[in-house]
Structure 1
């Protein structure tokens, strides 16, 4: 009888230890990532690095500074980035840092043949750094349209048409 109780107690102790490890994140030695002392400056710096990489077509840097939910594969994402036009300049017009974990940078991007209206870019703090959150943005650039230069942000979802169109391209 005593042996059975000891075995049950030992099992409960082991089970309790396992549950403790799981609850504390496998040992609890991992601290949550702390926001930088100057979140606004860090987010703007990341955005500027991304835009400079875009202007110089440094695809590896662009991918490392951003997250893109629209693609299931990195290959399709890379092909999509390569197919985009190359900006020649950009200008930050405002920064909303009311939520330091999700800073919104509004910028105007200039291409050789056009200048886009201000577009809001979200920089989310993830795993110790800010990353540009890519998303579908629709800009009406038809001059005769009554809503010329309006900007719409589509809901976040995997875009199968993007994935399919950029999966096997020769970029």
Structure 2
């Protein structure tokens, strides 16, 4: 039995030319998160713009690769920001959406951000499912913030839970 594998790359912001070279090298999927909503982005990043991120996604799609694109919740954004992020992801047309939950660490950037409650996380996951009904919603980093409620993530519409080293579902 033959099992095909698709190479996935994650190299941050890239040009259309670099995207084409990756495709020619055998890469079939590119991971590039938008991180948050356009409105909230400037509060968390000052090295590049939200448009730079969207341009990379379009470059990759134009090169013929699939895109894995999600973001991080719990960075001080509002529920409206989360909704806007989901609609932006839907607009660019990706099939795989990893959703990460910030794990604030004192002394680090965003370390003083309040932790999201399990209810807030589950509500966000259900919202992503409603906005992106055909996408694979993947619970990525920070899923341990749900504690004993991780299984409820699947009930809220999550398709996959990515492994966190040393964590159990």
Q: Structures share a fold, TM > 0.5?
A: no
TM-score (norm 2): 0.22
Q: Which has the higher helix share?
A: 2
For CA contacts below 8 A with separation 6 or more, give which structure has more relative contact order. 1
TM-score (norm 1): 0.22
Instruction: Name which one, 1 or 2, has greater alpha-carbon Rg.
Output: 1
Q: Which has the higher strand share?
A: 1
